[in-house]
Structure 1
Amino acid sequence: MAFGSKSFMGAKERAEYNKSFVGKYEKLVKKNSFLYFGLPMMLSIALGSVFLTNFTAVRYERRDEKVKEMNEDEALNMIENRRKVNIKDEYYKLQGLLDEHEDWEPKRVERLPGESDNRW
């Protein structure tokens, strides 16, 4: 690469840069990149996931509060008060074939003059 992306620093500027925190850190990273860059990065990710579990646990705790445990009396009361199910009635309900629709029959829609009947 003919033109580098680094800007030119004179000797005085380079000495000031090397004395700054960023310059010292860059020198350490070049010396041992895993110890000064990789390890802190992995530790921050691991610690972040540990600390963020509290935030994710809140969601499940709220969901658990909505669901309450029933005692035996409530469960028996639910069983006794439920509606008797007749499978035939449920089938006719789903099909829409109850008494209120007893006289229903399919009827062809009248077409406008000149409109095709679309019959095969």
Structure 2
Amino acid sequence: MSFGAKKFRSRRQQLAYEASFAGKYQKRLKKNPFLYFGLPFCGMIVLGSYWLAGFTQVKIDRDDRRVQEMNETDIINVKKNQRKFDIKDEYYKLQGLSEEEWEPVRVKRLKDESENVW
């Protein structure tokens, strides 16, 4: 404990402090810290979680509204707008044959820049 941690009070100030709410609380806190600090702290955490549950529920409801069941007409429209599947096109895409239109070109160096040849 450092010297400046405890505040000096005269005898009359000390009696007035002990009679105040803060003094009584401090005295009881030193006797039973869990009852006067731990229990209220845990209680606030529990009550806060119940209070915040409403906000979380609003977020979950909003996300649920975005995902909806599809009726038969929606399913038919989705199937009409689907891209036709052709196995040959997919094969050529996997082979990378459509990417042959480019050629690797060396980047021009600046005037005084080295070639980085090892």
Same fold (TM over 0.5): yes
Structure 1 or 2, whichever has the larger Rg, is 1
Aligned partners of 2:102 and 2:32: how far apart in 1? 86
Task: Give the Cα separation in 1 of the matches to 2:34 and 2:102.
Answer: 80
Match of 2:74 in 1: 74
Following TM superposition, by how much is the alpha carbon of 1:96 offset from its aligned partner in structure 2, in angstroms? 5.3
CA RMSD of aligned residues (A): 3.0
Q: Distance in 1 between matches of 2:2 and 2:33?
A: 27
- Where do 1:1-40 residues align within 5 Å? 1=1, 3-40=3-40
Q: Which has the higher contact order (CA 8 A, sep 6+)?
A: 2
d(CA) in 1 for partners of 2:30, 2:102: 86
Distance in 2 (CA, whole Å) between partners of 1:23 and 1:51 is 32
Deviation at 1:17? 0.4
TM-score (norm 2): 0.71
Per the alignment, do residues 10 and 92 of structure 1 end up closer, same or farther by CA in structure 2, a change over 3 Å counting? same
Which moved further from structure 2: 12-21 or 73-82?
73-82
- C-alpha deviation, 1:27, in angstroms: 1.1
Moved more, 41-50 or 63-72: 63-72
